[in-house]
Every structure is written in C-alpha cells, then in structure tokens.
Amino acid sequence: MNRAKLYSSASEMQHRDAAEALSRHVGSMTWLDDGSESVLDVGCGSGEVTRRLLLPVVPATGRVVAVDASESMIRFASVRHRHPRLCFRAIDILDPDMRGKFPLGFRKVFSFFCLHWVREQRIAMKNIYDLLVPGGEALLVFLASSPIFDVYQQMAAVSRWSKYTKDYENYISPYHHSKTPSQDLKTLLSDVGFHVAYCETRERIFVFDGLPQLKDAIKAVNPFLDRVPKDMHEDYLSDFLHESKKLKAKVQISNGKLSTKYELFEVLVKRVKQ
C-alpha cells in the first residue's frame, strides 16, 4: 500500500469509478451559495483522485483537506499535487481524536477506494459522522466484494505463501462474504446517526489490457508483497495470477486481456442532527 508512485500510475480502475460516482451524485448534494465549502477526502492515497477529480467539483472558494494513514502516500501527494486550496495530512480515519484534529468539522466528506481496508467499520463511520457539521454530507465509494479478496484467501492456503498472508482477513472488505451487503451497511450507517440518501452496490467490470497492467495493479495495492523476499516476488505474482484464473465466474481471459467483476458501494449520507 505504500508504493505511491506505482499506485499513482496503476489505478485506472479506481480513477474511472470515482469519476462516475462523482458525476452521479455531486449534483444532488447541497452546496453553499457562497462556495465556501470545507471538504475532507478520507484515504486519498497518492492524491490523483483528490487533485484531478474532487478538487475541480469543489467551488472555487472551497478548500480540501486530504488524509491517508500512509505517510509515504502523503509525502508523494504533497509534492506531486501541490495546490493552494489543497492540504495533505497523514491521519488514519480510525484516529480516536479525529474531531479534535479538525474542531471546525467539514461540510463535505468524500472517500474513494479506502474504506474496504477498514475492519473497524463502526469506528470509521462514527468518525466521519462526527467530522461533519449538521447538514453536512458524505459520498463514500469502496469495494463491497472483489475477486482479489478471494485470491488473498486462496494464497493463504498455499504452504509456500501462508506465512506471509496469515492475517489476510484484515485485508478483505468486511462485506465481501455478506449476502446482503447494502442492507448491512445501511443498518450500520443508520445506527451511527446518518440519514441514508443512497446506499447500493453496483456490479462493475474492468478490463486489463494485458498481464503487465494487471501485475502493476496487483503490486500497487497488495498488502503482502513487502513481506515476501524480493527474489520471490515474480513467483508470488505468477502464483497470484494462477489463482486468479481459477475464479472463472469473476475473472475472464480473452485475446490476452483479463476482465474482472466486482461490486462497488456508492453511498450518500447526511448528518441531520446537532
């Protein structure tokens, strides 16, 4: 997760899905007439989506704070995407003092392809709720399920790789095995206090042009690769691709291209209480 430069160049899927979610939901959000919006981006990663997609939809007098738990991602983003209306900070959404760090709160919170990494969903959603001022809104986009999580589980059962991946459950979406992911998430959001305007999963397909592109995408987000000795990286990636090909219902290979099916949450919520 700390391979910021690689992630920045190998995140086409995330960029596409974030752009589509913004185009669907930004117009239904309530924006201040004077444009003085305070905006938080949770899990900004290397900063591409924040700078290229989110900042342009924020009114010209608004400001964006982008946070990520990875200090190396924040260092990269701070240099690559410097802008007078954009600030990057290394902060984890699970921080117990999130509101203390931002006492004025925010009118908008966005998060793209981050929250599926968070096992403690209630804490994260409560922190987002607390960070919003009354009337504030949040747009959250993250994986409900993905074949990559199945492969993590399969690789953990392979003796050669199991010692590096024993904690694989910490790196799959909490909703991956749920039969009712949307309802599970709606219930949690309502319990936290949100008014849920929209909470659905969308089935998505992304086509990788070839194995090099797929390998880069895997390397950019795989949480176990740093644990594997470097001289075994190619073997690990080869086995990873081999396991991926077994998921024929979710992964298809044709003419040298690989397509993968996954389910993506799109969530629009509002804080209505003091």
Given a cut of 60, whether residue 160 has pLDDT beyond it is yes
pTM above 0.75, yes or no: yes
pLDDT-derived band at 44 (thresholds 50, 70, 90) equals very high
pLDDT per position as a tens digit, 195-233? 999 999 999 999 988 888 888 888 888 999 999 999 999
pLDDT reported for residue 1: 43
Q: Please give the C-alpha separations between residue 7 and each of 32, 89, 213, 252, in angstroms, as whole numbers.
A: 34, 18, 12, 24
pLDDT per position as a tens digit, 101-125? 999 999 999 999 999 999 999 999 9
pLDDT reported for residue 76: 95
Q: How far apart are CA 179 and CA 114, in angstroms?
A: 21
pLDDT per position as a tens digit, 177-189? 999 999 999 999 9
- Given this structure, which CATH class describes domain 4-146+174-206+261-270? alpha beta
